[in-house]
A and B are shown apart, each in its own frame.
Chain A
Amino acid sequence: GAVVSQHPSWVICKSGTSVKIECRSLDFQATTMFWYRQFPKQSLMLMATSNEGSKATYEQGVEKDKFLINHASLTLSTLTVTSAHPEDSSFYICSARKARQGTNIQYFGAGTRLSVL
């Protein structure tokens, strides 16, 4: 199998607070994890690539200080939305690539719906 657990699945928070989302590969090691944002009825927008033991690589236009990513182990990456505002409300999805995998197949978490009031 290749199971990715994402937690929480749904969070509501007040404007100005920070929210942490966890992404865990349960039965495999993931040297690379990806964080996406998805708006209703739209495709996935890659926010950043998270590499174990090194700094994340952010896509153009994504604020590093706003979306803090930590990939401290081969099975866990976290995304922290700092000082969240209503415009940060969205569906956030993580995915993971297996270590030593020859292809770029990604295994996805179930997503986190963030609502900022």
Chain B
Amino acid sequence: SQQGEEDPQALSIQEGENATMNCSYKTSINNLQWYRQNSGRGLVHLILIRSNEREKHSGRLRVTLDTSKKSSSLLITASRAADTASYFCATGYNTNAGKSTFGDGTTLTVKP
């Protein structure tokens, strides 16, 4: 299976702390994306990192990619209660008709 695996499955932190989520995948990728899903809603694209990139930033988000270990991490700094959501990684492959394979997700709870 090409599906990514994320850990931890669930993460609970206090507001202001940093949250780190990890994603591992099995085959070579073209890019990796992170999405956020609020409960009962669709997904929102957060950030895309290409296979030739090692780190990318967007506001309070920092994504790293280690293709040798086939893993990525998403760091949310100075978390807020509004960051409470599920976060999914999705891997994109060159020959997959534009499909992305989603990981199992990490449920983040930020306590005020």
Contacts and interface: CB of A to CB of B under 8 A. Distances in A.
B100 interface: yes
Nearest to A10: B40
Contact of B41 (A32, A46, A104, A111): A111
B102 A44 contact: yes
Nearest to A108: B42
Nearest to B31: A103
Interface in B54-112: 88, 90, 92, 96-105, 107
Interface residues of A, number: 25
A107 B98 CA distance: 13
Given A43-B103, A43-B105, A104 B92 contact: yes
13 contacts: A42-B105, A43-B105, A44-B88, A46-B101, A57-B97, A91-B40, A104-B30, A104-B100, A105-B33, A108-B42, A108-B45, A110-B41, A111-B41
